[in-house]
Every structure is written in structure tokens, then in C-alpha cells.
Chains A and B, each alone.
Chain A
Amino acid sequence: MVDLHDSSDSEELDSDEELQRAFARGELKTGLNYEARAPKQIINNVSGMKQKLAELQKNLDWIEQLDLTNGPAPAPGGQEEFTEDEDVSNNDFKRELRFYRQAQASVLEGIPRLHKLGIKTRRPEDYFAEMAKSDVHMKKVREKLLEKQQNIEQRDKAKKLRDLRKYGKKVQIDVLQKRQKEKREMLDAVKKFRKGQKNKLDFLDDNTEKGKGKRGGGKNQDNKVQQPNKKRQYKNQKYGFGGQKKRSKQNTKESAADLTGFNPKVNQSRPGFNKNKSGNKNKPNKRGNKDKNKRPGKSQRHKMKNKR
């Protein structure tokens, strides 16, 4: 609150004696006394102004002056944006809106009036004339507007991306967790089965059924069991569930006693044994006798065994 009364640089400095005398007379009261300010000069020469106005006025047709007096136009939505009495001088938005509405009202009144007088108000498209602002300037204005718009769009996009990423991350975490859970359950079930707690192998069937139900609905697949691709299978075999089988034991008691892979013609013959027999002359084989009786290599035998 500005203290307008506190003027230490007044012309009449009341001395203490004067104040005492005034107090004795009863003109002053106790407490703080403020020096009243001289009343402000008010000049409002109404008659003079009216006379000057009459002198100044030129009584011309409206077309010469083009002045219109009106209040603000009504808002298009029908809502009242501001009341008449409201002081809008501090509310920037409302104030500008009020000026805008006033201009609109004038336009809505003035343009039809000009049309009635038979004057064209609209500039035709091919009328090129000097504008108040140069083309260069208008280009800058347009660029600025575009920049603002682009900024808004970019911010929106970034926001959307952030939200999407958050959502996507959530989905990813869910899927990973689900997979881990399934793996854990599977392992537990297998362990239980191995330890003999579970008799049936039903957990295997359930999973494939569940999987089929989800994935096989849309696809037109046959009865083939869904398997990962060959590469994945190989890798699983090599690195999954227990590591390498290569260096683990391959023979058991039964496999050692297994004589199904034994062909006496191949394994129990001496080299050159069959040379003199009658059948050989008729059929000269491509490879030669040696190759016919040759025992296949280790990997080939391994493959043959696994195929069986």
C-alpha cells in the first residue's frame, strides 16, 4: 500500500511550538497525525468541450468518415464471455477478446452498409498491390507459425513414444516372466517324474495342447507338433538341459550286447575272401571289392544307430 500522505518535503514545516498551541486549542488529537494532501485539481469544462466539438465536427456523409460505435459482438457459442461491468483491464485474455468482439461487431455492421452503397469491399484474387508488410516479412511470420506447430507436434510425438515404450517394456517384462515361470514348472515336473513322484507324462501333453490352442487357431497347420527350427534344436541338444551329451557315456549294458548292427558279410570276412567266388565276375562293381565290405566311419555308425 503506497503511503501518499507521508510527505516530508512539504512547504510548511510545522514547528513543535505551533503543534503544541494547536493541541492546546483542541485542534489536534492524540495519536499519529497525518498531513492531508491538497485536493487534486479537477478540470472538466463540459460546455467548453461541447463548443469545441461543435466547431470541430464536419458534417460529412458516413462514407467519408467510416466511423462506427458499438459494443462487443455476441459470442458464437452463445455463452457469455464477460459481463459488461467486469473490469477486464488486468485479465489479458478477456480484454483482448473484448476488443476482438468489438471489431467483429463493427465489421458485421460496416461491410453490409458499404455493400448497400454499392462499394466493393473484397479484394479480388488477381488484384496485386503493395501491402503494408512486405512479402519477406510475411514469409518470416509464416515460418514462425509453422515452427510453433511443428514444435507442438514433435512434443506430442515424443510423449506418445515415451508412453508406448513404457507400455512395450511392461509387455516385454510380462512375457519374460511368463516364460521363466513355464520353464520352472516344466523343470519341476520333469524332476518329479524322474524321482518317481509323478507317473504320467501329462505335463508334456498339456503344454503342447495349450500352445496349439493359442497359436494353431489362426494358422492352417497340419497335425505336426510345433517344434523350434533345426538350428534351435541342435543348439538345445548341445547346450540345453544338462550340457553336452557328447562326452557322456554312450554305451549301456544293453547297447553293448546289441548285435543288430552286426553284418557277418561285412565284419566277419577276411579281405580277399570273396574274390574267387562265382558271383563276382558277373557284376563288376563301381567301387571295387574293398569298398563293398568296408565298415562305415564312426559318425555314420552313430547316425545309423540313432535313426534306429
Chain B
Amino acid sequence: MGKRSRKQIATEHDKNKQKDESDEIVLAPVISSDEPPLKQAKWTNKERVLVFSSRGISHRARHLMIDLRTMMPHSKAESKMDRKDQLFVINEICEMKNCNKCIFFEAKKKMDLYMWVSNCPRGPSAKFLVENVHTMSELKMTGNCLKGSRPLLSFDKEFDEHPHWQLLKELFTQIFGTPNHHPKSQPFFDHVFTFSISDNRIWFRNYQILEEDGSLAEIGPRFVLNPIRVFEGSFGGPTLYLNPGYVSPNEHRRLIRKQVAKKYIHRVEAKKSLEDRKPEYTYPSDITDDVFVTIRPDK
């Protein structure tokens, strides 16, 4: 292609201009591919959850914590807290990290796992005993979802019955629900968190939505929360609710051991109580009744 002379180019430009003016075509705005895509709507619901644990946590609980962090894009991680520090220190840690909610896993005796959920500056907070933990990496959990997609939250009808359940429901909604337009969230809805109440405990399940008509596959993790207490403040303060049916794991173990040990003693006591309960005479009878009884020979 040879160089075109300046005159030629100028005339062409003039021609185009004339064309535009004469035809009066309003050209549509052209979007070039170099421009960045349309910005998402703003993220207004600023929820940040701090998820961390104390020392002495078992590997299963650690994996549960990691799974929760994966599921919640609005979560932040923190290194393990020393058991020496008191619990209200957590409020300060949350403030430093600019988080307004917290999930804290406390492991005792390397066997028992407790979970604190709290709304950090002012409360309320709740302490649970975590049971029946299954992590996401178990091979029976066949579902999968987008990392950071917003979950649908499904609550049992019983959550509306009592005030302590209502309070916990609100707390869970704010903690587990990913905020709208969060920068790390993904646009589509492909999983649902289920909170159900059974046997005075909260059962958590995470299902993948396979089809819009309702077929589901479990993704994991799954755990059971046994509520212990609900506090007015964050990690402290007066107790609002105490679970009457709660038996601490220590006491539970103690009772089992006692049962085994006391087997013999129970048996002895049972025998003794039978003796005490037994009346001396089953029914009143007179010894002189059989004086005139004659025993006839059998025919």
C-alpha cells in the first residue's frame, strides 16, 4: 500500500463530513472491547465475619473451619488464639480486623468443640457445643458449588416459635448470608444452607441446587449445634437464655462411667429395696383357720 498524498486524505475526510451532515444519521455509541465492563452495583451491607479458633483444635474441626471460610467469601481468617487470653479480647481482635461478626471455635481436651457466634461490638452472642462434624472433603458429599456464590438460607418453621430461636435465626442470617454485591461473591445461586431444629439442637446442612425443580446434592460441611447459653453482650454479659436440657460433655462422660461403675451397687440396692418393700404378710390370715381342715384322700 503506497502512501496516499495529504490532499487525497483531506478530501476524503471532507467527503465523510459532508455525508454525515447531509444524511443526519445519528450513530449509536460504540463500545470498544478495551473498556472495563460495567461496574457492579455497590456493596452496601457491610458484613465481615472473623472465623478463627483457639489452640488445641483437632484436624476435623480445623477442616470444618476452613470449609466455612471457603463457603463464606465475606469471612476473614486469624491465627490461633492462646487459651491464656480471656474471651473479651476477641472483641478487640474483631475491631482491629474491622469485622462486625465472629465465629470462634474453642477446643477443649482435644475432644470437645465449642462454637461461639457473636455480633462483635454490642452483642448478642451464643455458645454452642458442636457435634457430628462432617467436612466438605468427605467422598460421600458429592455436590459442588461456585466458590463464593450467595447461598439461600432455609430455616425450620420452629425458628419462629420461641424468642431464643428467633434471635439465633437473625444472628445466623447475618453471619452465614453473603452480602449482596460483595466483591468476592459470584453471581449465580447454586447452593442452599439448611438450618433445622430437631431434638432441641440445630442441624446444619449445605445442598447444591442441581435442578431448579428441586433436586439437590449435599456439598457439606454438616454439623449439629447444641445451644448452651445466649448472652446479652459479645463474649460475655448477662445470660439471656440457658438451655435446660444441656449436659456438658464432661458430665456426660462422667455419667457413663458412673453407670458402669455403679452396676454392682445398683444391684445390691435394688435387692435391698425389694426386701424393704416386701410386706411381712401378703394377706392377713388366721393360724387357727386350718385346725379343722381334714385332708381327704384322693379318689
Q: Closest A-chain residue to B219, C-beta based?
A: A132
Identify which of A3, A41, A43, A55 contacts B122 (C-beta below 8 A): A55
Q: Are B145 and A103 in contact (CB under 8 A)?
A: no
Identify which of A3, A45, A53, A71 contacts B166 (C-beta below 8 A): A53
Q: Which residues of B contact A57 (CB under 8 A)?
A: 170
Q: Are B153 and A71 in contact (CB under 8 A)?
A: no
Identify which of B139, B192, B255 contacts A2 (C-beta below 8 A): B255
Query: Is A95 engaged at the interface, CB distance under 8 Å to the other chain?
Result: yes
Q: A48-B240, A56-B170 are in contact. Are A31 and B276 (CB under 8 A)?
A: yes
Q: How far is the CA of A162 from the CA of B222 in the complex (A)?
A: 42
Would you list which residues of chain A between 81 and 129 have a CB under 8 Å from chain B? Answer: 87-89, 95, 98-100, 102-108, 110-111, 114, 119-123, 127, 129
Interface size band for A: 35 or more
Q: How far is the CA of A90 from the CA of B31 in the complex (A)?
A: 61
Q: Are B240 and A111 in contact (CB under 8 A)?
A: no
B238 to chain A: closest CB distance in Å?
A: 8
Identify which of B124, B192, B266 contacts A106 (C-beta below 8 A): B192
A-B contact count (CB 8 A): 195
Q: A43-B241, A69-B159 are in contact. Are A56 and B154 (CB under 8 A)?
A: no
Interface size band for B: 35 or more
Q: How far is the CA of A132 from the CA of B67 in the complex (A)?
A: 9
Q: Which residues of A contact B272 (CB under 8 A)?
A: 32
Q: Which residues of B contact A256 (CB under 8 A)?
A: none
Top 3 A-B pairs, shortest CB-CB distance:
A106-B154, A89-B199, A43-B242
Q: Which residues of A contact B (CB under 8 A)?
A: 2-4, 6, 30-32, 40-46, 48-50, 52-53, 55-58, 60, 63-71, 73, 87-89, 95, 98-100, 102-108, 110-111, 114, 119-123, 127, 129-133, 137-138, 140-141, 144-145
Q: Which residues of B contact A (CB under 8 A)?
A: 44-45, 70-71, 119, 122-124, 136-137, 139, 141-142, 144-148, 150-157, 159-160, 163-164, 166-167, 169-171, 173-174, 177, 179-180, 186-190, 192, 194, 196, 198-199, 201, 203, 205, 207, 209, 212-214, 216, 219, 230, 232, 238-242, 244, 255, 258-259, 262, 266, 269, 272-273, 276-277
